[in-house]
A and B are shown apart, each in its own frame.
Chain A
């Protein structure tokens, strides 16, 4: 019977923020040794709910019961004391500390003047060994890989006696192999009697790891189902309210001239280390080249190097056959390039500028928007109203500030600005990340539209699904090098995965290609 003991119970949890109800009358029951997936789109209220369980937010209504007793959490410390641990989406670790120091103060401290670092280190190392995690307790967090940091987070929770472990989109930053490792750890934890709440918006993860799945939508529980008795299709129906995720239609590729040539390009990152180590890429008009890879392998540096924001230390970049290696961003943009940066809040749009101002950022100085140094406001307003309509930006008018827009609408604004001039070449960096499915699809459709009219699109994304969905060719970047390029319709996920982890699957691929070429010849 202990198997089915209810460990955590939520009754009618409601949380309102100004203007939205993030959680509405949520009920949830979690049993001992259960892995529960919380599935929902962005903004469905998953994170809010978890922050309530972890004591970071207090509910407006409703009750939380741990092991049958009602509890009130005023801070995470209370939650930790009741055996609740959380692994945040953006890791909550002090970057300048090593894991042990993080663990020691991870429960608000030990109330001793000098913490027992050595004892804690021993306990930490033992715990890491138990779950087969290879971690050096002396390495500082900022020097660790994302996967390692996540393991530190898990250990931190376990160290403080977590029986309920909440993971907020834990796989969004991991490579496929690291994800596998994480799943192994979670299963081992389950064996130990730990209950796990796993937040995700990826269907296959939910069906792979969980015992039960709870689907959230717009702050409400749609349903809770046994994983065994459901499938991806019915889940996705619950999730988005339509039959299945639409496959975006693409016209047959346009054979086009060469639009971009990147030849052995080197560049440094913000720390002054080489981030690009001899990148070479070629792109034609009318194609989408998907650049896959785990975040932080030089994608941002490449995008900035091409758009003129980052100095290139070696190598050449040509746009439409003309060298742009040392051109400034405005020059490059005038030659017909558009850039949709990953960081849409700090880099893509002005937060304190209105939509109108954001929309004309790249052409305010040109006719007809500016004449003899004076802005032509009626023309600008007209133009902006049209764009807001065309790109379906939901807002309270053109005077809305950038910071008042939701992520999706901000991204639509940026798209409108970048794509309106019908650029010949577009760099889109993680264009759909953090957006809900609807807004994400809109973004992807816009990119395909641009491709269909003959533009070259360089799509940089850490989301392999997205890349496979809309790319014509797929390239993989790892530690500043291109590991290989494949035609999208002949993609071998295994090899892509290996490339993303830096192992030399390239040889295998070369063999495969020659094989397939030979096969074609035979045929």
Chain B
């Protein structure tokens, strides 16, 4: 394995940071959603919808920011959809989430076929350009790994402390936690449980939409059927792994990113492992991380919101 030298490691880790970005967006949003007591398993579908609407808008208007905005808006709409069903109609959150995923999966491919029928060459957009941070990008290792990316990557990482602050330091965050832990108590406080939950799910949807739009706009430059490849579900695993803490969610996302980048890189390098095994690497790592995490979790609550996935009904 003498082919693995510093340059390769840096390439892999830099790719890991880029791959981690959509996961960071989605898991941040899912943390907010779940903190309020609602489980949204449909983020995978919302990501796909964000990806297609982001790509279509960016392609048609030739404006990448407009594309991101479209992704976020569609995320909000689908988040509101999930929120309406789960909170006001009190449907089963698991089933509603899975329906949302399947809806997003089919609808995104359908829209792509309608919008881009008759193209012989796969339509492409130019992605956001890389911005090298002055000075910082010259630091050995750290520089090329973290400070040589496009603006969206920086935005994603910047959002992490913001979301942490939102949840833990603001009044809105306290309310989110309150309705997720003990909605009845929150109700006696005079907090509108359904309203807070609704906004939390919608915000989560916006993040998922942004995460989905990132993939064509910030990374690949084109749309492919089911291009999220289960990353919405990986994000949900990351949320559990992080104990609903945005700061740890970054670590989870980077772990997945690294595994994913390694898999791709090893294929390119022609290392003699079945490529299916390499592709499966990040998913296996996620399962292993979850298992290890749950085995090591000693006693106590494990950080899950007390009323996660339990609809609230006034008596």
Contact = CB atoms under 8 A, between A and B. Distances in A.
A408 to B, nearest CB: 20
A93 B174 contact: no
B177 A94 contact: yes
B297 to A, nearest CB: 10
Given A114-B170, A115-B171, A94 B188 contact: no
A342 B1 CA distance: 63
Given A113-B171, A114-B170, A271-B299, A88 B188 contact: yes
A92 B306 CA distance: 14
Interface stretch (B84-92, B179-187, B215-223): B179-187
B165 to A, nearest CB: 9
A96 B177 contact: yes
A75 B190 contact: yes
B120 interface: no
A105 B196 CA distance: 13
A97 B188 contact: no
B185 A272 contact: no
A114 B184 CA distance: 23
B175 interface: yes
Contacts of B300: 271
Contacts of B169: 114
A130 B174 CA distance: 27
Contact of B171 (A76, A78, A88, A110): A110
A247 interface: no
Interface in B268-310: 298-301, 306
Contacts of A94: 177-178, 181-182, 185-186
Interface in A108-134: 108-115
A78 B190 CA distance: 8
B174 A104 contact: yes
A95 B299 contact: no
B61 interface: no
B301 to A, nearest CB: 8
A56 B185 CA distance: 11
B185 A92 contact: yes
A95 B188 contact: no
Contacts of B177: 94, 96-97
Contact residue range for chain B? 20 to 34
Given A112-B171, A271-B300, A272-B299, A76 B187 contact: yes
B181 A105 contact: no
A146 to B, nearest CB: 15
Interface string B136-169: 0000000000000000000000000000000001
A496 interface: no
Contact residue range for chain A? 20 to 34
Interface string A408-438: 0000000000000000000000000000000
A34 interface: no
A271 B302 CA distance: 11
Contacts of B178: 94, 97, 105
Contacts of B103: none
A113 B191 CA distance: 15
Given A95-B306, A272-B299, A107 B190 contact: yes
Nearest to A96: B181
A105 B299 contact: no
B189 interface: yes
Contacts of B185: 91-94
Given A106-B189, A108-B190, A271-B299, A92 B184 contact: yes
A54 B188 contact: yes
Nearest to A17: B315
A86 B185 CA distance: 11
Contacts of A78: 190
Contact of A108 (B172, B184, B189): B189
A115 B174 contact: yes
Nearest to A54: B188
A403 interface: no
Contact of A77 (B170, B181, B190): B190
Contact of A104 (B171, B186, B306): B171
B306 A96 contact: yes
Given A115-B171, A115-B174, A108 B182 contact: no
B87 to A, nearest CB: 17
A312 interface: no
Interface string A74-106: 011110100000101001111111000100111
A93 B188 CA distance: 9
A522 interface: no
B175 A109 contact: yes
Contacts of A111: 171
Given A92-B182, A97-B177, A273-B299, A114 B188 contact: no
A49 to B, nearest CB: 15
B308 to A, nearest CB: 12
Contacts of B171: 104-105, 109-115
Given A92-B185, A106-B189, A109-B175, 10 more contacts: A76-B189, A93-B185, A94-B186, A105-B186, A108-B191, A109-B191, A114-B169, A115-B174, A271-B299, A273-B299
